[in-house]
């Protein structure tokens, strides 16, 4: 039987009972139909996970007791920070799901020039993005949750990345020449920026290059904005991270 993995934003310890309420409780009760004595796995995104058992399912809450801690680690050794241009609703959800599965460490949703929605409307979507990251982490076995930063303007985001400690900063851009010059030493912390459906504006490309980003093109074809982060993350995990054959 499938044992559900459940993310809880709480301190956890062995032999502790957690009451899960709200939307997650409704999902566990009405969709997964969990009942007393069913097995579950709890994790809080701070490393490891707990084997657990359902104590009771009431109208208000699902109560789960932890039985044993497993210090299992399923995170990539490569630190990746994704600056993702905000996409249309479903495309953004797909992009966040795939990035989480591919081991992204941090996601900064960025407001770019080629964007039709107003900032106030976008800010309201943050909770839905966080929920997608939690669900994806539950499904794929992550033991640490990718951090979701607040919605950030493009100039602020690239300036933040310029000041932070990254070995490589890439701007995924169709106007860049296709080149695969390997860095002198394998990078351990990489920032990648992906444009929205309409791509980055010329001014954004110029600004990114001035703040240390290298425009980077992957292959000959145009990828959909929701495919591009997955393709680039898989490519980087293969060259420098957990899919690489080289020993790290």
Binding to ligand SAM by CB under 6 A, coded x per residue (else -) over 163-202, reads ---------xxx-------------------xx-xxxx--
Residue 120 backbone dihedrals phi, psi, to 5 degrees:
-60, -40
- Give the nearer residue to ligand SAM in terms of CB position, either 75 or 197: 197
> Are the CB atoms for 199 and 60 separated by under 8 Å?
no
Instruction: Output 8 or 208, the one with its CB closest to ligand SAM.
Output: 208
Query: What's the longest Cα–Cα distance across the chain?
Result: 59
DSSP designation for 144: B
Query: Residues 214-243: x/- map of binding to ligand SAM (CB under 6 A)?
Result: ---xxx-xxxxx--x---------------
Q: Which is nearer to ligand SAM, 64 or 172 (CB)?
A: 172
Q: Which is nearer to ligand SAM, 37 or 220 (CB)?
A: 220
Count of residues engaged in binding ligand SAM, rule: CB under 6 A: 18
3-state SS, 41-63, equals EEECCECCEEEEEEEEECCCCEE
DSSP per residue, 164-211: S--SEEEEE-TTS----PPPSS--SEEEEEE--TT---HHHHHHHHHT
Residue closer to ligand SAM (CB basis): 125 or 217: 217
Query: Considering the complex, what minimum distance in angstroms separates the CB of residue 100 from ligand SAM?
Result: 18
Binding site for ligand SAM (CB under 6 A): 172-174, 194-195, 197-200, 217-219, 221-225, 228
């Amino acid at each position: 039987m499938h044992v559900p993995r459940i993310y809880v934003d709480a301190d956890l310890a062995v032999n502790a009972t957690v009451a899960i309420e709200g939307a997650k409780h409704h999902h566990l009760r009405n969709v997964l139909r969990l009942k007393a004595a069913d097995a579950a796995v709890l994790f809080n995104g701070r490393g490891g996970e707990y084997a657990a058992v359902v104590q009771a399912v009431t109208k208000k809450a699902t109560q789960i007791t932890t039985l044993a801690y497993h210090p299992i680690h399923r995170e990539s050794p490569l630190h990746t920070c994704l600056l993702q241009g905000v996409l249309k609703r479903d495309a953004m959800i797909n992009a966040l799901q795939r990035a989480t599965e591919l081991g992204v460490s941090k996601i900064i949703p960025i407001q770019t020039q080629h964007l039709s929605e107003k900032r106030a409307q976008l800010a309201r979507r943050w909770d839905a993005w966080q929920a997608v990251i939690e669900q994806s982490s539950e499904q794929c076995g992550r033991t640490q949750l990718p951090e979701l930063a607040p919605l950030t303007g493009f100039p602020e985001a690239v300036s933040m990345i310029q000041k932070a400690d990254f070995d490589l900063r890439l701007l995924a851009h169709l106007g860049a020449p296709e080149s695969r010059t390997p860095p002198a030493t394998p990078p351990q912390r990489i920032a990648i920026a992906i444009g929205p459906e309409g791509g980055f504006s010329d001014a954004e490309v110029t600004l990114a290059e001035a703040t240390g980003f290298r425009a980077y093109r992957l292959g000959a074809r145009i990828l959909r904005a929701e495919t591009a982060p997955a393709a680039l993350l898989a490519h980087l995990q293969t060259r420098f991270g957990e899919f690489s054959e080289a020993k790290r």
